[in-house]
Every structure is written in C-alpha cells, then in structure tokens.
Structure 1
Amino acid sequence: MKRQIIDTIEQYDTIIIHRHIRPDPDAYGSQLGLKALIQDNYPNKKVYAAGTHDETLSYLGRPDIISNEAYHGALVIVTDTANTGRIDDERYSKGAFLIKIDHHPNDDAYGELLWVNTKSSSCSEMIYELYEEGRQYKNWQMTENAARFLFAGIVGDTGRFLFPSTTKRTFEIAGELIQYPFNRNEIFNGMYEMEENLLKLQGYVYQNFTMDENGAAYIKMPKELLKEYNVTVSETSSLVGSLSNIKGVRAWAIFVEEDNEIRVRLRSKGPVVNELAKKYHGGGHPLASGATAYSWEEVDRVIADLKQLCKEYQ
C-alpha cells in the first residue's frame, strides 16, 4: 500500500493535502509533514496544504491559499480524517485522484486508494512509516522541517506519550525524529503554555466540574462563560485533559458552546467513547472522540449516556 501511494505521488505534478476540521497537532503535523516530505524529495512538484487556519497552531505552521484551478488534474491526499463530513474544505473531491491516510476506525472508506492503520498512535507516525518506505524504495530524505512536523503530531496525539496508543514503535520513531536539530522546547511551549485568562478558565473547570459515583465527569462552557474569560472556542481544546488528573474519573466530557452548536470533547481512561460520539454527529478513537450537540437538552442526553457508559464499564 505504501509503495502504491509513493507511485501515485510520483505521477502527479500538483498535490493538495487536506486534513480534518477543528485541527489538532496531529492534523497539522501529518498534513504539513507530508507536504514537506514531498516538496523536499520532489522539488519540481507543486504541493499545497488546504484548510482553515487555527491560530492556536500557529507555532507549527499555516495552510496555503489555494485556487480552484489548482485542483484540476491534481492528486488530493487527506490525512488524519475518518469521514468525508470532517474533511476541511469541500474541494477535496475536485481533484483527479483521492488518497486517504488515517489511523481512525475506517467507518467511511472514501478515496480511490486507502491506507488505514488503527494501531498507529497518530497519523504523523504513519507518515514517518511512509517516509521509511520511500527511503528504501526511492531514496527519500528526511529534513529537519519534516521531522519537526511529524514529532509534533506524534506528541500531540499521544499526550506526550502518556496515552495507551503509545507503543514501542512510537518511541522508536520519536527517537529517530529527535536526531534532527529542530527546537523541541518551542513545540512543547506552543502546545502547553497557556495565557493567563485560559489558566483562570482552567481554574473554573476545576471548581465547577461534576462527577458521579461511577466516574463520569463533565463541565459545561456556555458562550457567556467564554466571553467572561475572553477565551475562544478553539483555545478551550487545551483544557480537554484537565479532568484526567482527577482520582476516580473514568470518562469525561467538555461541552463548549459556539454560535449554532455545542462542541463535545470526549475522553476516557477505559470506557469506549467513540460509539457514543457517533450517536451525536461525531466519531474518533476509542478513548478520545469528538461530537456535536445542537441544544443544551441534547447535551444532557450525552451526559446521561456517558454516565450509563461508565456505570456499565468493568
């Protein structure tokens, strides 16, 4: 499969790489890492990264502004995105050929060529494995820039190597990547440093979360609360792990209100939450998923289901 992807990359002069909406470090890491790898090894190709920029990820890089004409006859690759509904920029379907590279459950088998590995810690880890194949097959070279993106993506999706998805293979790849002289402190600071207002909102989370006797925890963040603390919806993503340190918590949810919907972030230490996420317009990994609610009444149904999930967990 990896050689088929490499052969396909070699066939196209223009390559456009997409990733999922509401991006995280692995979305940027896999997308921009793959872009850098292709550009560095095929300097005559035009390679673009598509999608709306998230300012919280500016420490990593920025996507490109792409014309509609660029899609004519182009190869499109989508990284780190389980289903078509979550692909950022609907023009992904306007290219000549579509490849899916992902590590989520393959519930939506889109694309003419698919490489899905649910055992991989991150899509960035998969892009590194694509590089390894390219090194053996076509003498691909890894550069400091590409290594930086891939390392960031792996760190982000493994929670600094704390999540169960981290494997011996993950550490081996990380060990290879840190041999390149990029600034790791810059990456860690970009991921984990918080502005004062966000830290104060984190304090609110600790003071106001709810947890039941079965370890189901949650916090609601209405628009008025975000306005009070001057925090954007995307900035709240850095708070999703806050409830993980609570003794006795099994699974938790953070509900963040936007203009027309309520973003649902689900995390777990054991109970499988991605089926719950699918029930509410979302999906993701067994222990880390996202969903969407369209009213606070629907949020209460998510909470009830989360409580039942924790109650049934053995």
Structure 2
Amino acid sequence: MKRQIIDTIERYDKIIIHRHVRPDPDAYGSQIGLKELISLNYPNKKVFATGIHENTLDFLARPDKVLDEDFQDALIIVTDTANTERIDDDRYKQGSYLIKIDHHPNDDAYGDLLWVNTNASSVSEMICELFEEAKEYRGWKLDASIARLLFAGIVGDTGRFMFQSTTLQTMKYAGELISHGFDRTELFNGMYEVERNLLQLKGFVYENFNMDENGVGFVKLTREILQKYKVAESEASLLVSALADVKGMRCWVFFIEDEKEIRVRLRSKGPIINEIAKKYGGGGHPLASGASVKTWEEADIVIEDLKML
C-alpha cells in the first residue's frame, strides 16, 4: 500500500493535500508535513496544502491559497479525515485521483486508494512510516522543518504521549524526529502556552463541571460564557482534556456553543464513546470523538446516552 502511494505521487505533477475542518496539530502535521516532504524530494512538482486556516495553529504552519484551476489533473490526498463531510475544501471532488490516509475507523471508505491504520497514534505517525518506506524505496530525505511538523502532530494526538494509542513504534518515530534538531522548547510553547483569559475559562470549567456517581461528567459552555471570557469556540476546544485529571471521571462531554450549533466533544478513560458521536452525525476514536447538536435539549440527551455506558 505505501509503495502504491509513493508510485502514485511520482506520477502526478500537481498534488493538493486536504485535511479535516477545524484542524488540530495532527491535521496540520500530517497535511503540511506531507506537503513539505513531497516538495523536498520532488522539487519540480507543484504541491499545495488547502483549507481554512486555524489561527491557534499560527505557530505551526499556514495552508496555501489554492486556485480552482490548480485542481485540474491534480492528485488529491486527504489526511486525518474519517468521512467526506469533514473534508475541508470540497473542491477535492475536482481532482483526478484521490488517496485517503487516515487512522480513524473506516466507516466512510472514500477514495480511489485508501490507507487506513486505526492502530496508529496519529496520521503524522503514518507519514513517518510512509517516509521510512520511501527512504528505502526511492531515497527520500527529511529535514528539520518536516520533522517539527510531524512531531507536533504525534504529540498532539497522543496527549504528550499519555494516551493508550502511544506505542513503542510511536516513541521510535518521535525519537527519530527529535534527532533532526528542531527547537522543541519553541514548539511546546506554541502548543501549550495560553492567554490569561483561556486560563480563567479553565478555572470556570473546574468550578462548574458536573460529575455523577458513576463518573460521567459534562460542561456546558454557552455563547454568553465564551463572550464573558472573550474566548473563541476553537480556543475553548483546547480545554476538553482538562477533566482527565479528575479522580473518578470515566467519561465526559464538553458542549461548546457557536453561532450555528453546539459542538459536542466527547472523551473517555475506558468506555467506548464514538458510537454516541456517530448517533449525532459525528465520529472519531473510541476514546475521543466529536459531533454537533442543534439545541440544549439535544445536549441533555447526549448526557443521558453517556450515562448508559
């Protein structure tokens, strides 16, 4: 499969790489890391990373401005995106051939060529694996800027190597990336330093979360609360893991209201929660998933669903 992907990349002069909406470090790490990896090893190819930029990831990278005509006869690669509804930039349909590279459950088997590995900690780890194959197969090289992107993606999706998805292979790749000598202190500052208002909202979360006797928790962040603390919805999403430190917490949900809907961010220390996410039009990993609901009444039903686990 990896050699098929490499062979396909070699056949195309234009390559456009997509990822999911509302990107996280693994989305940028895998997407833009792969873009830079291809560009380094095939300097004559035109390679683009498309999608709406997430300002909280300014420290990491920025996507490109891609014109409609760029999609003509282009190879499309979609990273870290389980289903077509979540692909950022629906012009992916205008390409000539589509490759899916992902580590979520393959419920939507889209694409002409699919590489899905649910055992991988992140798609950034999968790109490391692709590079190892290409290094042997075609003599690919990797530099410090690419290593920085892929390392950030792995760190982000493993919760700084704390999640069970972290394997010996994950640590091996992380160690190899570190050997390229990028500034890890600068990278970690970008990933984890936050403004004072977000810390104050975190304090609100700690003071106001609910947890029942079975370890099911929830937090409701309304638009009024977000406006009070001057925190954007994307910034509030950074707090979802805050309740992982609560003793006795088995699974929990953050509800974050924006102008159109209420984001549902599900996390778990054991119970499988992605089936609940699918029920509300979302999806994700067994212990980390997301969805959306339209009303607070629907949000209350999500809480009841969690209590049934």
Aligned amino acid, residue 249 of structure 1: M
Question: How far apart in 2 are the matches of 1:55 and 1:303?
Answer: 31
> How far off is 1:74 after superposition?
0.1
Aligned amino acid, residue 108 of structure 1: D
Superposed counterparts of 1:204-243, under 5 Å: 204-243=204-243
The answer (yes or no) to whether the contact 2:251–2:270 under 8 Å persists in 1 is yes
Alignment partner, residue 258 of structure 1 = 258
Alignment partner, residue 248 of structure 1 = 248
Local SS of the residue matching 1:118: coil
| RMSD after superposition | 0.5
The answer (yes or no) to whether the contact 2:237–2:256 under 8 Å persists in 1 is no
1:168 and 2:168 correspond: yes
Question: How far apart in 2 are the matches of 1:257 and 1:80?
Answer: 24
Identity of aligned residues (%): 65
Question: How far apart in 2 are the matches of 1:22 and 1:263?
Answer: 11
Residue-by-residue CA offset, 1:153-207 (whole Å, 9 max, x unaligned): 0000000000000000000000100001111111211111110000000000000
Local SS of the residue matching 2:99: strand
Runs of 4+ in 1 over 6 A off after TM superposition: none
Residue-by-residue CA offset, 1:33-86 (whole Å, 9 max, x unaligned): 100100000000000001000000111000011000000000000000000000
Superposed counterparts of 1:113-124, under 5 Å: 113-124=113-124
Alignment partner, residue 300 of structure 1 = 300
Q: Give TM-score scaled by structure 1 length.
A: 0.98
Aligned amino acid, residue 165 of structure 1: S
Residue-by-residue CA offset, 1:231-258 (whole Å, 9 max, x unaligned): 0000012101110000000001110001
1:126 and 2:123 correspond: no
Question: How far apart in 2 are the matches of 1:27 and 1:99?
Answer: 15
The answer (yes or no) to whether the contact 1:103–1:122 under 8 Å persists in 2 is yes
Superposed counterparts of 1:97-108, under 5 Å: 97-108=97-108
Question: How far apart in 2 are the matches of 1:89 and 1:175?
Answer: 34
Superposed counterparts of 1:22-171, under 5 Å: 22-171=22-171
Local SS of the residue matching 2:308: helix
Residue-by-residue CA offset, 1:270-305 (whole Å, 9 max, x unaligned): 000111100011000000001101111110010110
> How far off is 1:22 after superposition?
1.1
Question: How far apart in 1 are the matches of 2:265 and 2:46?
Answer: 36
Question: How far apart in 2 are the matches of 1:136 and 1:290?
Answer: 38
Local SS of the residue matching 1:242: helix
Question: How far apart in 2 are the matches of 1:145 and 1:212?
Answer: 46
The answer (yes or no) to whether the contact 1:30–1:80 under 8 Å persists in 2 is yes
> How far off is 1:265 after superposition?
0.6
The answer (yes or no) to whether the contact 1:202–1:239 under 8 Å persists in 2 is yes
Local SS of the residue matching 2:220: strand
Aligned amino acid, residue 42 of structure 1: Y
Question: How far apart in 1 are the matches of 2:237 and 2:41?
Answer: 34
